[in-house]
Structure 1
Amino acid sequence: MVSKEYLSLSEAAELIGKNKETLRRWDREGKLTAVREPVSNYRVYKRTDIQTLFPEIFDIKVHETEEDHGEPKKDYNVIELFAGAGGLAIGLEKAGLKCLALNEIDKFACATLRKNRPQWNVLEGDIKDFDFKEFKNKVEVVTGGFPCQAFSYAGKRLGFEDARGTLFYEFARVVKDVNPPVCIGENVKGLLSHDGGKTLQGMISILDEIGYNVVPVKVLRAVNYNVPQKRERLILVGIRKDINIPFEYPKPNQKIFTLKDALKKGELYDCDVPASAGAKYPKSKKEVLDLVPPKGYWRDLPVEIQKEYMGGSFYLGGGKTGMARRIGWDEPCLTLTCSPAQKQTERCHPDETRPFTVREYARVQTFPDDWQFEGSIAQQYKQIGNAVPVNLAKEIGLSVVKFLNNYYSSLNPK
């Protein structure tokens, strides 16, 4: 296994938030040069070289305390679109915001929302079938984790009507109809480069057309916001053009939580993770993963087993560090997916040779232990894997509360 002094291409790309092709180009240009690791002879990156180039990753500024944000000065109402199983909604609730309505098309996720918050107004079905005009000027925030879809460009500049048929159009339609002071979209980091960046620029131009200035888009690393997971989410914030109040993203925390913090009693949770159902490995896969140590992956297997397990991938380039990967107690978990036992993105328990259980999955995403998920085990994993981590959502919510407090104070200066 690559030592801590050295990082594989995949590990280096994940750490600094760039894709592997960018690192290969930097290597060719001499900006960040790969070296041969003394033991394995694989091309790797020196941690010290990355530290020199990206000091902010290793020297994270301390977060302001939550008290600095202040309590909401009035009821701040939210409409959430594409709500999923409630990760974003719970986080915003913890920050003091009030969910006025939530839309979600997946029936199992809707059942989860109703099970846990019977008082929430859950609008189940296709967003295209709902009219939100009744909420005009009654809502402070519209949020939505819309899927990343390419647009068809009608001209040099993408307009609101050109985006018809996409879910971002529906998000923008609701924002236009409701007229909130702020709207927040969240998406995968890949939106930055989707269709050469045109998709994101199209979204920004549409929000501009309907009356919103977009704050510079930022990718937030969940691990910096009380989440024991290396997950990244792109956040897009639109501020209504009549408002001249700056929005500040949450500042990163100094403390990084690990898998142990997620599953054991400690600062994040006041008890060990509750027992729950979970997926199991087939016998053949378990026999292979039994040989992988904590924090190890397929390269820690005997060479003959590597070849058999990896098949043709064994001879291809790239680290493929997610394959046959066992997570360590003293590190944050890798990004959870919608299924706990996918070969390309393995997330094996540190001690036991099995995938994480449903409740362990939920802990890594910082859901409360009393938040129950409806549907089959597979549906529960899917809901959790798709969610915005609750603690990340709370930090975003606190920034929204601070912004809204400043906005309403500006309307009624003392």
Structure 2
Amino acid sequence: MNFPAIKLPLVNTYLETLNGQSLPKKYSGLNFVSVFCGGGGLDLGFSLAGIKPVFSSDVIPSFCATVAKNLPKHVVEPHDINLLSGNYVLDKVRAPVDIVIGGPPCQAFSILGDRKSRDDPRGQLAFEYVRFIKEIGPKAFLFENVPGLLTVNKGKDWEQLLEFFAAETGYKIRWTKLNSVRYGVPQIRQRVIVVGFRDEVNFRWPAPRYAESQDQSELGMIPPLPAWMALEDVENLPNHVLREHGERVIERYSTILPGGRDRKDHTDRVHPDRPSGTVLVGSGAGGGRPFIHPFEHRHITVREAARLQSFPDWWEFSGGPTSAYRQVGNAVPPLMAKAIASEIRLALGK
């Protein structure tokens, strides 16, 4: 006897995972201080891993407002790292600090090889971050940045930066390059991660669960998540404000195939069945534009970009659209940050 086929609704497991993320009711006993917090990708990831935020800071007030709104009950203040002392932070939190996390803007390192860079406010940030770590004296620290850092000055700047971290802090340094798509994020996004430990510990980088490419299978790995999973059911969510485009732009975008690029403004259209490219949403000085939506002839919204970055829907971004796009585009994906933080927590015995 033949039974009629029953079509079951397709469950969006990514959104289930994403919006199932919640802050712990009780933390592990470890805490962290965050500088260059931006829109809070690292801060959220470490908090989700059970590590308590006690102080977060960025030079831009609207970035701090985002973190304060979503991670309440800890100190969040705008500061220039050049003027922020470890003693000030320790006085504020009134407790020893276990972990310091941060990612100074990448411009800071393109001139590290020249000690005259101390006179350049961009180059100063690298030295100031290390100085801040030394003043805090945590059990561990994390530094993150873009992979292009590895090839500046034929790799010499990277080598000198690692030597600088080790010599100045005395910590045991480990580093690697991670791709967020391997940790359940529907986006190809590589970041360089450095961790330093005050004492000898048994630390391992988080094991990947997803393959890096749909075109090449990997034994035991789940296929990478496609971008469409991040772009469903966004109506009426915070930060989902559609940008109005002129008729000429809409007409031009209507000719761009999935995965293609607009020749005029060099904007890429998201391919719905593949992980998106790296979310680049520019800066105050310009730069990348938001992606074109895979099905609609418009840029993706802040909320859609945040979904591709693995921010849960309850995480709201403060400031205007430009500020919010910058916060999303400069962030470490929270799900990848959570995976790293979980391994640091294990290494520290918690």
Normalised by the length of structure 2, the TM-score is 0.78
**Number of the residue aligned with 1:269:** none
User: Post-superposition shift, 1:122?
Assistant: 0.8
Is the aligned partner of 1:294 residue 2:249?
no
User: Post-superposition shift, 1:338?
Assistant: 2.1
Q: From 220, 228, 231, give the equivalent of 2:189.
A: 231
Aligned-partner Cα distance in 1 for 2:27–2:62:
35
Aligned-partner Cα distance in 2 for 1:110–1:402:
29
**Number of the residue aligned with 1:109:** 63
User: Post-superposition shift, 1:211?
Assistant: 0.9
Is the aligned partner of 1:263 residue 2:231?
yes
User: Post-superposition shift, 1:331?
Assistant: 0.8
Residue 98 of structure 1 aligns with an amino acid whose one-letter code is K
Task: Give the secondary-structure state (helix, strand or coil) at the position aligned to 1:230.
Answer: coil
**Number of the residue aligned with 1:277:** 241
- Relative distance call for 1:73 and 1:122 in structure 2 (3 A) is closer
Q: For residues 260-289 of structure 1, what are the alpha-carbon distances to aligned partners after superposition, in whole Å with 9 as ceiling and x for unaligned?
A: 22123xxxxxxx224320323332222111
User: Post-superposition shift, 1:73?
Assistant: 9.3
Is the aligned partner of 1:89 residue 2:43?
yes
User: Post-superposition shift, 1:339?
Assistant: 4.3
> Contact 1:207–1:213 (CA<8 Å) still a contact in 2?
no
Aligned-partner Cα distance in 2 for 1:163–1:288:
41
**Number of the residue aligned with 1:54:** none
User: Post-superposition shift, 1:161?
Assistant: 12
Query: Which residues in structure 2 correspond to 1:2-81 (within 5 Å)?
Result: 74-81=28-35
Q: For residues 91-150 of structure 1, what are the alpha-carbon distances to aligned partners after superposition, in whole Å with 9 as ceiling and x for unaligned?
A: 110111111111110111111122222312112120122221363981221111112222
Residue 252 of structure 1 aligns with an amino acid whose one-letter code is P
User: Post-superposition shift, 1:249?
Assistant: 0.8
**Number of the residue aligned with 1:222:** 180
- Relative distance call for 1:374 and 1:201 in structure 2 (3 A) is same
Aligned-partner Cα distance in 2 for 1:371–1:346:
19
User: Post-superposition shift, 1:235?
Assistant: 0.3
> Contact 2:55–2:74 (CA<8 Å) still a contact in 1?
yes
> Contact 2:279–2:290 (CA<8 Å) still a contact in 1?
no
Is the aligned partner of 1:391 residue 2:335?
yes
Query: Which residues in structure 2 correspond to 1:368-387 (within 5 Å)?
Result: 368-387=312-331
Aligned-partner Cα distance in 2 for 1:161–1:399:
37
**Number of the residue aligned with 1:172:** 130
Query: Which residues in structure 2 correspond to 1:358-377 (within 5 Å)?
Result: 358-377=302-321
> Contact 1:273–1:363 (CA<8 Å) still a contact in 2?
no
Residue 326 of structure 2 aligns with an amino acid whose one-letter code is K
Is the aligned partner of 1:121 residue 2:64?
no
User: Post-superposition shift, 1:344?
Assistant: 6.5
Q: From 112, 132, 135, give the equivalent of 2:86.
A: 132
Residue 112 of structure 2 aligns with an amino acid whose one-letter code is F
Aligned-partner Cα distance in 2 for 1:94–1:104:
20
Structure 1 residue ranges without an equivalent (≥5): 1-71, 265-271, 299-305, 311-322, 409-414
**Number of the residue aligned with 1:402:** 346
- Relative distance call for 1:164 and 1:333 in structure 2 (3 A) is closer
Structure 2 residue ranges without an equivalent (≥5): 1-25, 210-220
Residue 276 of structure 2 aligns with an amino acid whose one-letter code is C
Aligned-partner Cα distance in 1 for 2:78–2:346:
31
- Structure 1 runs (4+) greater than 6 angstroms displaced: 160-164
Percent identity (aligned): 32
User: Post-superposition shift, 1:391?
Assistant: 0.6
Aligned-partner Cα distance in 2 for 1:162–1:325:
34
User: Post-superposition shift, 1:250?
Assistant: 0.7
Task: Give the secondary-structure state (helix, strand or coil) at the position aligned to 1:166.
Answer: helix
Q: From 235, 249, 252, give the equivalent of 2:208.
A: 252
Aligned-partner Cα distance in 2 for 1:223–1:145:
20
Residue 125 of structure 2 aligns with an amino acid whose one-letter code is L
Task: Give the secondary-structure state (helix, strand or coil) at the position aligned to 2:324.
Answer: helix
> Contact 1:75–1:97 (CA<8 Å) still a contact in 2?
yes
> Contact 1:80–1:144 (CA<8 Å) still a contact in 2?
yes
Aligned-partner Cα distance in 1 for 2:96–2:287:
47
Q: For residues 229-260 of structure 1, what are the alpha-carbon distances to aligned partners after superposition, in whole Å with 9 as ceiling and x for unaligned?
A: 111110011122xx222321111113321112
- Relative distance call for 1:343 and 1:394 in structure 2 (3 A) is closer
> Contact 1:289–1:324 (CA<8 Å) still a contact in 2?
no
Normalised by the length of structure 1, the TM-score is 0.66
Aligned length: 300
Aligned-partner Cα distance in 1 for 2:119–2:195:
21
Q: For residues 182-206 of structure 1, what are the alpha-carbon distances to aligned partners after superposition, in whole Å with 9 as ceiling and x for unaligned?
A: 1110000011012222322222122
- RMSD between aligned residues: 2.9
Residue 241 of structure 2 aligns with an amino acid whose one-letter code is A
Aligned-partner Cα distance in 1 for 2:121–2:67:
29
Aligned-partner Cα distance in 1 for 2:115–2:302:
45
> Contact 1:263–1:273 (CA<8 Å) still a contact in 2?
yes
